[in-house]
């Protein structure tokens, strides 16, 4: 029989050998007694064969061990034995082929690969390299180019997600992408790493070794023993405040380093409380982890053991040199240098300037009180017990309202056996609703939570048999978790666990026990060997699965953040937004999920050195994509003149930009007039009069607002929002920090909310969002007309929005006109219209201008982004059309 021609395989065998040599050896799957015995025998024989001096002896030895392994394979049926033997044969045949590039050996290797890739996911680590080789051979047969190769490698990595070989598969793909010099592929793989295995310390260390030149974010994750013997788990125990991790040893001046840090932290103690926590990792395996050194210096840091010191995976992933401090954001992201160790601030005498380091850390956006205040409140679960309508209805507490989803839930019909209404009301007053909750300082947060704890415990002691005691216990659990978050006090979480168990034992109505169950799920996730994936998935599956309520899915989001599981967080986030965004009890959490500022900083590296990072923040927070869920807004307000103003009625058929502002004064909230005028000017320049601007003042004091407006009112309607920040509309729209910045809302012509911008972003960025979203919709509308073959309508629309510029055009005085500056959205739309109409030269000019704009932005950001790739693809497609026409 003629042997098959496998010459096309040869380059890939050589290439794969080079790549796989760079990766750690893999043969870690555990076997039972008999299986382990014969595999160990084969391994010894294989190792002895490799050490043979003669290549002839090596080939003979390899053929012998292959023959023996094949015989064992025929006699073994158990899957774990079969696939271990196949993986051994795969490596042995690789070695043989390396000594003798015989087509028969190549064919035998491929046949072994085809059998090995049939292994189920539990044996993914055994089949990985064989699967990769087969994939590359198939790609070579198809003759795919760079794009096909990148697609194949991404597809390969995706196949191994959620398997034991996930991290290894991604590392292999990164090595290959680096070998090919494929930067877009490297970026795609990094995104996949971030979503799936970002917290793997080996993956973090791998990225720092292999990818150079930048700072990147990685979750700080791990379970550690404190000096008092208790166990802490990150990111769970750090979420809601920034961390500064200090890695040090008694060697190389480490003791002096931490003493300086301790002294500096004591000077800034008041500023740091509730915002920034310092955590010590000693590298010397000291019995007390170095606690005595800090106590002598007066510092009350958490002191954690790091067994093995510099050999510990956490040290290798996050520190890599010492003494060293690593900053971690309130969302658990650590700032890491990909290559090298970086530099720390030093004083004139060369010693570390710890005071400046702390001052810099406290001054960053991710340590600002309102930002960390909102995060700690959300992580504690405040939103689960707060009613956006204010106060508490004893017959329909928020937990019952959250179950409604449009249906009527029977109220609690209280009698003398129930907890008195005045007691429940007093307890509820301890929980401050957004946005004022986020403005409480550290001391005020603690006071409110402590008051709730006392009132709840008093009520439990006084009414131990009340049928609605679960309402009290829920608030006690949330208050204790709030103290755990604000004070970094693990004992408070332990108290919450005790109360959660008591609450479940006492009995809670179905669906209202989510607060206690969230607390207990967190306790389960803290176990060092916990299968976090299964625990979180089971948490949702056991509470409704696809029909789970909003609070269940919100709790699942928090659990995913607790263990740095970005993939699950994104999945449950999507489900919240798809099914529960409009529910009043979910407003606080929904607005957090949709907030552009939070979306950016949730996984962002806590680093802001230089303009590069400001450019990135500006671009990614102001892009024209609308909110992911288009909510309806129904409200009736009054104008400054006392007339009724209703939504959606008074927004029908027009883009409506609403600017929410607090009553302004010289020494108080800023005046909205300047920002308002810029929006009005833009709306007046819009062709067709399809946009209106409205000023909504968070006040019902008509005289005061009139006095602020004065005799020169802006050219737009002015409406009043009664009760100011106490109005439920504030929670529904996520209005925050209105006393510092304006909150903006954009309604589509059909009345749905297209975009919301909270006061966490400055006013210029907020207005830019409004403009960018409108122009994004312009582009979408024109693309739709092109798809419907309505080219004349598409052309008319885009020329109205972005008239074509004639470079030879002159003004009335004979001077050349200045070229107008159009957005990338309008230029892309115009390029597509010209291309569809066959005016390829004009289309190319616009496409090139878009690429130029975005390339300049990418240079400023030091980062490529998806919009640039799409712009280059559009330009290239137009060039291809021009080329085809020339032929």
Residue 313: both structure tokens together = 């995976």
Question: Distances from the Cα of 875 to the Cαs of 489, 829, 867, in angstroms?
Answer: 57, 12, 12
Ramachandran angles phi, psi of 476, nearest 5°:
-65, -45
Q: Which of 785, 782, 768, 789 is nearest to 846 (CA)?
A: 782
Tell whether 778 is covered by a domain.
Answer: no
CA distance 831 to 853: 14
Tell whether 568 is covered by a domain.
Answer: yes
Residue 281: both structure tokens together = 């990792």
Q: Residue 108: exposed, middle, or buried by beta-carbon count in 10 A (0-12, 13-18, 19+)?
A: middle
CA distance 806 to 819: 8
Question: Distances from the Cα of 37 to the Cαs of 80, 81, 184, in angstroms?
Answer: 13, 11, 46
CA distance 816 to 99: 74
> At a CB cut-off of 8 Å and minimum separation 6, what does 609 contact?
none
Neighbours of 406 (CB within 10 A): 6
Residue 55: both structure tokens together = 């290549």
Neighbours of 178 (CB within 10 A): 17
CA distance 790 to 782: 9
Q: What local confidence, expressed as pLDDT, does residue 17 receive?
A: 44
CA distance 11 to 141: 12
| Same-domain pairing of 199 and 238 | no
CA distance 345 to 260: 13
Last residue of one domain, picked from the residues 158, 186, 212: 212
Tell whether 616 is covered by a domain.
Answer: no
CA atoms within 13 A on the CB side of 312: 21
| Same-domain pairing of 103 and 236 | no
Residue 240 near residue 380 (C-beta atoms within 8 A): yes
| Same-domain pairing of 415 and 465 | yes
Q: Identify the bridge partners of residue 326 per DSSP, sorted by sequence position.
A: 245
Tell whether 1 is covered by a domain.
Answer: no
| Same-domain pairing of 267 and 331 | yes
Give the residue numbers spanning the domain of 310: 217-339+352-367
Tell whether 659 is covered by a domain.
Answer: yes
> At a CB cut-off of 8 Å and minimum separation 6, what does 597 contact?
621, 758, 760, 761
Range 88-99 burial, b when 16+ CB lie within 10 A, else e: bbbbbbbbbbee
Q: Torsion angle, CA of 859/860/862/865, rounded to 10 degrees? A: -80
Last residue of one domain, picked from the residues 159, 189, 212: 212
Q: Average pLDDT for consecutive 10-residue bins of the chain (887 residues)?
A: 38 46 41 55 71 75 82 80 85 82 86 89 89 85 80 91 91 90 88 91 90 82 94 96 94 86 90 93 93 85 94 94 92 80 52 82 90 96 94 92 70 89 96 95 96 98 95 98 95 97 91 95 94 96 94 97 96 95 93 96 87 91 93 93 92 93 86 94 92 96 92 90 94 94 95 94 94 97 97 96 84 82 96 96 96 95 90 96 86
- Residue 303's H or E segment, with its range, is strand 302-304
Q: Which of 498, 483, 476 is nearest to 419 (CA)?
A: 476
SS3 754: strand
| Same-domain pairing of 576 and 494 | yes
CA distance 230 to 227: 7
Residue 738 near residue 644 (C-beta atoms within 8 A): no
Question: What are the respective helix, strand and coil percentages of the chain, to the nearest 5?
Answer: 60, 10, 35
Q: Identify the bridge partners of residue 223 per DSSP, sorted by sequence position.
A: 233
CA distance 810 to 92: 78
Cα–Cα–Cα angle for 543, 544, 550, rounded to 5 degrees: 85
Residue 305 near residue 282 (C-beta atoms within 8 A): yes
Q: Which of 308, 302, 344 is nearest to 324 (CA)?
A: 344
Last residue of one domain, picked from the residues 191, 212, 233: 212
Question: Distances from the Cα of 158 to the Cαs of 122, 151, 172, 196, in angstroms?
Answer: 16, 11, 13, 10
Query: What CATH number is given to the structural domain containing 725?
Result: 3.40.30.10
Q: Provide the whole-model pTM.
A: 0.90
- Residue-by-residue DSSP string for 522-584: HHHHTSTT--HHHHHHHHHHTTTGGG--HHHHHHHHHHHHHTT-HHHHHHHHHHHHHHHTT-G
Q: What local confidence, expressed as pLDDT, does residue 5 receive?
A: 39
| Same-domain pairing of 308 and 457 | no
Residue 755: both structure tokens together = 């975009």
Tell whether 617 is covered by a domain.
Answer: no
Question: Distances from the Cα of 702 to the Cαs of 211, 673, 696, 722, 735, in angstroms?
Answer: 60, 17, 12, 10, 21
| Same-domain pairing of 732 and 831 | no
Residue 572 near residue 590 (C-beta atoms within 8 A): no
Tell whether 228 is covered by a domain.
Answer: yes
Q: What local confidence, expressed as pLDDT, does residue 348 receive?
A: 53
| Same-domain pairing of 77 and 115 | yes
Residue 807 near residue 819 (C-beta atoms within 8 A): yes
Q: What local confidence, expressed as pLDDT, does residue 349 receive?
A: 54
Tell whether 613 is covered by a domain.
Answer: no
| Same-domain pairing of 456 and 567 | yes
Neighbours of 507 (CB within 10 A): 10
- Residue-by-residue DSSP string for 764-776: HHHHHHHHHHHHH
| Same-domain pairing of 113 and 258 | no
CA distance 446 to 479: 9
Neighbours of 453 (CB within 10 A): 21
3-state secondary structure 72-137: HHHHCCCHHHHHHHHHHHHHHHHHHHHHCCCHHHHHHHHHHHHHHCCCCHHHHHHHHHHHHHHHHH
Polymer length of the chain: 887
Query: What CATH number is given to the structural domain containing 97?
Result: 1.25.40
Q: What local confidence, expressed as pLDDT, does residue 19 receive?
A: 46
| Same-domain pairing of 508 and 579 | yes
| Same-domain pairing of 167 and 18 | yes
Q: Which of 18, 9, 38 is nearest to 102 (CA)?
A: 9
Q: Structural domain tally of the chain?
A: 5
């Amino acid at each position: 029989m003629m042997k098959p021609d496998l010459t096309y395989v040869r380059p890939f065998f050589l290439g794969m050998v080079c790549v796989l040599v760079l990766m750690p050896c893999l043969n870690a799957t555990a076997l039972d007694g008999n299986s382990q015995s014969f595999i160990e025998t084969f391994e010894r024989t294989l190792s002895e064969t490799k050490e043979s001096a003669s290549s002839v002896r090596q080939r003979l030895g390899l053929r012998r061990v292959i023959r023996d392994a094949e015989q064992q394979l025929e006699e073994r049926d158990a899957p774990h034995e079969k696939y271990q033997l196949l993986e051994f044969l795969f490596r042995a045949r690789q070695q043989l082929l390396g000594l003798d590039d015989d087509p028969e050996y190549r064919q035998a290797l491929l046949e072994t690969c085809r059998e090995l890739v049939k292994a189920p996911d539990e044996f993914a680590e055994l089949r990985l390299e064989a699967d990769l080789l087969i994939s590359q051979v198939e790609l070579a047969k198809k003759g795919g180019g760079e794009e096909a190769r990148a697609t194949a490698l991404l597809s390969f990595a995706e196949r191994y997600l959620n398997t034991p070989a996930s991290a290894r598969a991604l590392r292999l793909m990164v090595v290959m992408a680096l070998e090919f010099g494929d930067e877009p592929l490297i970026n795609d793989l990094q995104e996949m790493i971030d979503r799936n295995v970002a917290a793997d310390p080996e993956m973090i260390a791998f990225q720092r070794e292999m990818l150079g030149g930048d700072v990147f974010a990685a979750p700080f994750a791990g379970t550690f023993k404190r000096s008092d013997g208790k166990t802490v788990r990150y990111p769970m125990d750090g979420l809601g405040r920034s961390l500064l991790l200090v890695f040090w040893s008694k060697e190389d001046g480490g003791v002096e380093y931490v003493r300086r840090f301790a002294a500096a932290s004591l000077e800034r103690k008041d500023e740091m409380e509730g915002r920034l926590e310092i955590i010590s990792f000693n590298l010397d395996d000291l019995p007390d982890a170095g606690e005595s050194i800090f106590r002598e210096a007066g510092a009350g840091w958490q002191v954690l053991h790091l067994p093995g010191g510099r050999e510990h995976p956490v040290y290798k992933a996050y520190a890599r040199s010492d003494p060293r401090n690593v900053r971690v954001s309130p969302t658990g992201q650590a700032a890491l240098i990909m290559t090298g160790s970086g530099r720390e601030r030093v004083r004139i005498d060369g010693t570390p300037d710890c005071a400046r380091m702390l001052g810099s850390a406290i001054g960053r956006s991710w340590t600002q009180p309102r930002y960390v205040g909102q995060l700690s409140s959300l992580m504690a679960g405040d939103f689960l017990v707060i009613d956006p309508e204010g106060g508490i209805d004893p017959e329909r507490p928020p937990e019952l309202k959250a179950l409604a989803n449009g249906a009527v839930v029977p109220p609690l019909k209280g009698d003398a056996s129930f907890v008195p209404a005045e007691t429940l009301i007093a307890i509820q007053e301890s929980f401050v609703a957004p946005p004022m909750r986020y403005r409480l300082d550290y001391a005020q947060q603690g006071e409110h939570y402590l008051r709730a704890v006392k009132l709840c415990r008093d009520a439990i002691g006084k009414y131990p048999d009340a049928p609605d005691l679960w309402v009290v216990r829920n608030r006690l659990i949330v208050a204790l978790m709030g103290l755990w978050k604000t004070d970094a006090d693990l004992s408070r979480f332990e108290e919450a666990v005790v109360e959660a168990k008591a609450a479940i034992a006492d009995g809670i109505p179905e669906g209202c026990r989510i607060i206690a169950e969230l607390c207990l799920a967190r306790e389960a996730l803290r176990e060092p060997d916990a299968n976090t994936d299964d625990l979180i998935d089971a948490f949702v599956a056991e509470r409704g699965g696809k029909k789970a309520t909003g609070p269940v899915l919100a709790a699942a989001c928090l659990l995913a953040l607790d263990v740095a599981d970005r993939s699950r967080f994104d999945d449950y986030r999507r489900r919240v937004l798809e099914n529960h965004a409009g529910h009043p009890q979910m407003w606080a959490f929904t607005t957090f999920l949709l907030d552009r500022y939070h979306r950016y900083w949730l996984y962002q590296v806590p680093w802001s050195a230089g303009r590069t990072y400001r450019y990135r923040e500006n671009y990614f927070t102001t892009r024209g994509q609308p909110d992911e869920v288009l909510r309806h807004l129904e409200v009736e307000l009054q104008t400054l003149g006392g007339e009724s103003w209703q939504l959606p009625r008074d927004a029908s058929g027009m883009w409506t930009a609403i600017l929410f502002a607090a009553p302004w004064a010289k020494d108080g909230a800023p005046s909205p007039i300047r920002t308002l005028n810029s929006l009005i000017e833009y709306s007046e320049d819009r062709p067709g009069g399809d946009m209106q601007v409205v000023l909504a003042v968070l006040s019902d004091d008509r005289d005061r607002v009139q006095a602020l407006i004065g005799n020169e009112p802006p050219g737009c309607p002015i409406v009043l929002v009664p009760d100011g920040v106490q109005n439920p509309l504030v929670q529904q729209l996520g209005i925050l920090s209105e006393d510092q910045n304006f909150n903006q809302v954009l309604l589509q012509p059909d009345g749905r909310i297209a975009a919301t911008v909270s006061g966490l972003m400055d006013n210029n960025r907020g207005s830019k969002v409004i403009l960018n979203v409108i122009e994004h919709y312009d582009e979408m509308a024109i693309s739709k007309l092109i798809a419907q073959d309505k080219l004349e309508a598409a052309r008319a629309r885009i020329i109205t929005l972005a008239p074509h510029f004639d470079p030879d055009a002159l003004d009335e005085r004979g001077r050349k006109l200045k070229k107008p500056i159009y957005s990338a959205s309008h230029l892309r739309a115009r390029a597509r219209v010209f291309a569809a109409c066959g005016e390829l030269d004009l289309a190319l000019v616009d496409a090139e201008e878009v690429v130029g704009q975005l390339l300049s932005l990418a240079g400023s950001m030091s980062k490529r982004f998806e919009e640039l790739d799409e712009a280059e693809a559009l330009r290239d497609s137009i060039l291809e059309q021009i080329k085809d026409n020339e032929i």
